[in-house]
Structure 1
Amino acid sequence: MTDYPTLHLLIDGEQISGDGRKTEDVINPATEDVLGTLPHATADDLDRALEAAERGFKEWRTTSADKRCAILTKAANLLRERASDLGTILTMEQGKTLAEGRGEFMYSANLLEFYAQEAKRTYGRTLVRPEGSRVEVQYHPVGPVAGFAPWNFPAINVMRKIGGALAAGCSTIVKPSEETPASGIAVVQALLDSGVPGGVVQCVFGVPSDVSEHLLGSPIIRKLTFTGSTPVGKHLAKLAAEDLKITTMELGGHGPVLIFNDTDIDKALDTMAPGAYRNAGQVCVSPTRFLIEEDVFGKFRDGFVERVGKMQVGNGLEKGTDMGPMANSRGRENVGKLIAQAQDAGGALLSGGERIGNQGFFHQPTVLAEVPTDADIMNEEPFGPVAILNPMAGEQAMIEEANRLPYGLAAYAWTNDPARRRRLAAEVEAGMLAINGGSVSTVDAPFGGVKWSGYGSEDGPEGVRACMVPKTVHEG
């Protein structure tokens, strides 16, 4: 068994812990045992990180694209080599299955490798002008970037905060979640081990509001990138606006799934039923609201409940586990309240609905059906192991319900009608739409939402360009 590592800050290339700093315990969500003790950065630590980021930016922005590419590629390979052990550590602190934990580090490596190559493709353009004049559009790194990442994907989210910025030539300070710190530290350490200068990629922890206010209050930071809830995102955007910092916001969702009667129902079930409970439903792009044409509702409902009933819930470290615990007790309590309120509002509980055992943050995979739209769970992201199945009259009603909420992150649809696919692509309000599939994430395409789900993109060329600013040079 891989041991849980000693925790520390990473500032200007130095591992920092202890020395009277405030600390907090990191809890294993499957056992509620204390895994380790995490130090918080002091105000002096944060000032030191800011000064190092300012120096690091001056060095890194002038490092050739070929050299940045080579260093980032080396880090990607290191993450692949370490993925087995690091995936175990991720499961210990976050709860998801080993396959998910190891897969998360592999995806992070793939994303970093893509970004490494993209460092050499930050093209500008030359505009055609009369002889003797010239207009050139250039792209330059925006400057030091502050990134704030949540606990649900503690490796991928950290990589999304720093990978594109590093490829663009920016320095970074990232604050992973204090609940899952080792995974974020491991990502940053791999970059340092590969040759990224200590002032270019740094990792800090602390009371989230204190750290964000300190970093965003500094003119050194030129961009904020955040993944988390919509209310926190709105607050951080206001802080960033005080200094007109560029922002990227990847916020909440409530993913609609449109199931039409012309699709392969069994294929849709085999894909979407397990997808709804990936990472115990703690996924911003999780399929949560299933909108099903009335004439296939019964078949889909029964098949969904059957598949969920076969899922094995347990410690993510144990073989055969399909779904681990939730990451913390507050999430489990919130899901319980939403399920109870949905039943009070007239929804039917078809499966699950209860916590499991008295140790760990386990909750049954839950299925609700025919839940009224005024129920809280139809309007608030559940962020837990619960799916809602509702019958719908037809295409227009399904699209209207999919678009009803102020969120627009991910959406899913299952249909074999090519014309309908084109209509859905045009009319469904989401930053990402999967048709006849369950994935909305790939390293070479943008990841992000619309409306209250945020703005800006991570992944793909857009994830690098989001960390750059244009400059137009006119030559007479």
Structure 2
Amino acid sequence: MSDDMQYSQFIAGEFRQGASATRFTVINPATGQPLGDYAHATRADVDEAVAAAAEAFRTWRKTSALERSALLRRVATLMRERGQAMAEQIARELGKPYGEAQKEVVTAAEMFEWASEEARRIYGRTIPARSEGITQTVVWEPVGPVAAFAGWNAPAITPSRKISGALAAGCTIVIKPSEETAGVALLIARVVQDAGIPDGVVNLVFGDPAEIADMLCAAPQIAMVTFTGATAIGKIIGAKAAQTMKRATLELGGHAPVVVCDDVDVDRVVRMAVATKYRNAGQVCTSPTRFLVQAPIYAAFCEKFVKAAEAVVVGDPFDAATQMGPLKNQRRLDAIDRLVQDARERGLTVATGGERIGREGFFYRPTVILQPTLDSDVASIEPFGPIALISPFEQLDDAIAEANRLPFGLAAYAYTNHLQRAHRLANEIDSGVVCVNEWQASLPETPFGGHKDSGLGSEGGIEGVQEFLRIKCVRQGAAS
């Protein structure tokens, strides 16, 4: 963090320390060394944040769409102006290569730009009445103060998506970003404040995740919960929200399949596949993981993929040559190691990687496992790390069945130059996002959400703003 801004909470427009005696230390994953520490929020801190959001909602919901739009666009402008500092903080706290971090900041700014535009396009409609003198209108209203939870793997994008969507709709927000990337979230809070967003509209609390979730989900002032993270935790959050009839938008885990048909340019697909797979060390919920390759090109695909994975430069996030940084923490390192160890114990082929790099930081080699058996852990557990699985298939039916085998359906990918195959893959893969001959699963202007155990609702696009709105039908007759 910079000298003029320290790790803290952000409540009712004030950057201040939490009141708890418990402290959290932020670790640089490239070195394993501390970046700083701060006090957890207490129940009183969280209650103050909720109260601030509830009080601010009374006026923010009445703020004109034009004014909300202008303020959100100002946030985007300031975020772009401060992009270097924010990208540096992402690289320090997450270990994402600086070039990738810069792109993340741009996307986060685009989230606010898109939301600023949609704020002015929240349209209702008029329904023809059955008799003269009656008007029937449908009105979209902000749902109310929102509780939000964001993970560490996209520390600028995920909070920005939630904050911008909520504010565009006229809602206020209490967000608990990841404690491990608190500095990035606090830089966003500073931008929000400097852009002129009123105090209390946005509040950030950091502390014990389970305790804060309990408090926010139970708070009567909170009308909605939005969560991005692991499926198991998301189900708990959703259940807690349901107990008090709160709306829940859940963006959860995945295990993305990639169907590669035998009519493609193998070199081109491999080049893009490897770059996408090892982006952010595979710590992306949409990361392509289960590569299903048609038999005639399977051997060539594996050979080229392994060679390209071995050529990925792993190192210091601030080195311009680095293509992949470290894993975020020791937990991720241990989890990846367990998956690889299980694969080896089952006799699977670890074609490359499968080991830690050095003893400083949390670096791991890009890993490729060939033909994983369905009973192996890695075939069913989302790696959320730099592991790619490659398996052959004969008929397209087999590939579609395998793509749909797991209870996840967040993102899926397919490559073919055959139109009929492309239609089948797009229509028959059960996933919230299906990319055909394309790798970008999420953009500010497109809806993003999962099927099955991968979530409920959508973020991004028109649909993402609508998640923060409720419908009111107004029937009005002439006065008697």
Normalising by the smaller structure, the TM-score range is over 0.9
Aligned to 2:291: 290
8 A contact 1:147–1:226 mirrored in 2: yes
Question: Secondary structure of the equivalent of 1:180?
Answer: helix
Once residues 147 and 387 of structure 1 are traced to their aligned partners in structure 2, the CA distance between those partners, rounded to angstroms, is 31
Once residues 5 and 202 of structure 2 are traced to their aligned partners in structure 1, the CA distance between those partners, rounded to angstroms, is 20
After TM superposition, the score normalised by the length of structure 1 is: 0.98
Structure-to-structure mapping, 1:326-405, within 5 angstroms: 326-405=327-406
**Range with greater deviation from structure 2 (42-51 or 324-333):** 42-51
Deviations 1:314-368 (A, max 9, x none): 1111220000000001111111110111122232111010001011000000011
Question: Secondary structure of the equivalent of 1:374?
Answer: coil
Aligned to 1:237: 238
Aligned to 1:113: 113
Question: Secondary structure of the equivalent of 2:179?
Answer: coil
Aligned to 2:266: 265
Instruction: Write the letter of the residue equivalent to 2:49.
Output: A
Matched, 1:135 2:136: yes
Question: Secondary structure of the equivalent of 1:25?
Answer: strand
Once residues 105 and 44 of structure 2 are traced to their aligned partners in structure 1, the CA distance between those partners, rounded to angstroms, is 32
Question: Secondary structure of the equivalent of 1:153?
Answer: coil
Shift of 1:233: 0.5
Q: CA, structure 1 residues 20+419, in 2 after alignment: closer, same or farther (shift >3 Å)?
A: closer
Question: Secondary structure of the equivalent of 2:340?
Answer: helix
Question: Secondary structure of the equivalent of 2:225?
Answer: strand
Once residues 367 and 427 of structure 2 are traced to their aligned partners in structure 1, the CA distance between those partners, rounded to angstroms, is 32
Question: Secondary structure of the equivalent of 1:179?
Answer: helix
Once residues 169 and 286 of structure 1 are traced to their aligned partners in structure 2, the CA distance between those partners, rounded to angstroms, is 33
Once residues 37 and 5 of structure 1 are traced to their aligned partners in structure 2, the CA distance between those partners, rounded to angstroms, is 13
Shift of 1:38: 2.2
8 A contact 1:346–1:372 mirrored in 2: no
Q: Which runs of 5+ in 2 are unaligned?
A: none
Aligned to 1:73: 73
Instruction: Write the letter of the residue equivalent to 2:412.
Output: A
Instruction: Write the letter of the residue equivalent to 2:354.
Output: G
Matched, 1:193 2:194: yes
Aligned to 1:432: 433
Q: Which runs of 5+ in 1 are unaligned?
A: none
Question: Secondary structure of the equivalent of 2:446?
Answer: coil
Once residues 113 and 253 of structure 1 are traced to their aligned partners in structure 2, the CA distance between those partners, rounded to angstroms, is 28
Once residues 20 and 384 of structure 2 are traced to their aligned partners in structure 1, the CA distance between those partners, rounded to angstroms, is 36
8 A contact 2:73–2:116 mirrored in 1: yes
Shift of 1:260: 0.1
After TM superposition, the score normalised by the length of structure 2 is: 0.97
Instruction: Write the letter of the residue equivalent to 1:148.
Output: F
8 A contact 1:345–1:371 mirrored in 2: no
Aligned to 1:442: 443
Matched, 1:40 2:40: yes
Deviations 1:383-405 (A, max 9, x none): 11010000111200000000000
Instruction: Write the letter of the residue equivalent to 1:380.
Output: I
Matched, 1:148 2:142: no
Deviations 1:286-310 (A, max 9, x none): 0000000011001110110111111
Aligned to 1:29: 29
Shift of 1:21: 4.1
Once residues 20 and 222 of structure 1 are traced to their aligned partners in structure 2, the CA distance between those partners, rounded to angstroms, is 26
Once residues 12 and 3 of structure 1 are traced to their aligned partners in structure 2, the CA distance between those partners, rounded to angstroms, is 22
Once residues 71 and 358 of structure 1 are traced to their aligned partners in structure 2, the CA distance between those partners, rounded to angstroms, is 46
Aligned to 1:227: 228
Instruction: Write the letter of the residue equivalent to 1:97.
Output: P
Shift of 1:475: 2.1
8 A contact 2:19–2:41 mirrored in 1: no
Shift of 1:247: 0.4
Once residues 288 and 128 of structure 1 are traced to their aligned partners in structure 2, the CA distance between those partners, rounded to angstroms, is 51
Deviations 1:407-439 (A, max 9, x none): 000000000111111111111000001111111
Aligned to 1:158: 159
Deviations 1:80-122 (A, max 9, x none): 0111111011110111100111111110001110001100011
Aligned to 2:469: 468
Once residues 4 and 183 of structure 2 are traced to their aligned partners in structure 1, the CA distance between those partners, rounded to angstroms, is 8
Q: CA, structure 1 residues 20+259, in 2 after alignment: closer, same or farther (shift >3 Å)?
A: closer
8 A contact 1:256–1:402 mirrored in 2: yes
Once residues 354 and 157 of structure 1 are traced to their aligned partners in structure 2, the CA distance between those partners, rounded to angstroms, is 30
Q: State how many pairs are aligned.
A: 476
Shift of 1:264: 1.7
8 A contact 1:4–1:89 mirrored in 2: no
8 A contact 2:288–2:412 mirrored in 1: yes
Once residues 385 and 436 of structure 2 are traced to their aligned partners in structure 1, the CA distance between those partners, rounded to angstroms, is 23
Instruction: Write the letter of the residue equivalent to 1:101.
Output: A
Matched, 1:174 2:148: no
Instruction: Write the letter of the residue equivalent to 2:338.
Output: K
Question: Secondary structure of the equivalent of 2:180?
Answer: coil
Aligned to 2:98: 98
Question: Secondary structure of the equivalent of 2:290?
Answer: strand
RMSD: 1.3
**Range with greater deviation from structure 2 (184-193 or 233-242):** 184-193
Once residues 333 and 295 of structure 1 are traced to their aligned partners in structure 2, the CA distance between those partners, rounded to angstroms, is 36
Shift of 1:5: 4.8
Shift of 1:50: 1.1
8 A contact 1:410–1:430 mirrored in 2: yes
Question: Secondary structure of the equivalent of 1:35?
Answer: strand
Aligned to 2:55: 55
8 A contact 1:29–1:327 mirrored in 2: yes
Once residues 222 and 20 of structure 1 are traced to their aligned partners in structure 2, the CA distance between those partners, rounded to angstroms, is 26
Question: Secondary structure of the equivalent of 1:116?
Answer: helix
8 A contact 2:68–2:168 mirrored in 1: yes
Structure-to-structure mapping, 1:300-339, within 5 angstroms: 300-339=301-340
Matched, 1:208 2:209: yes
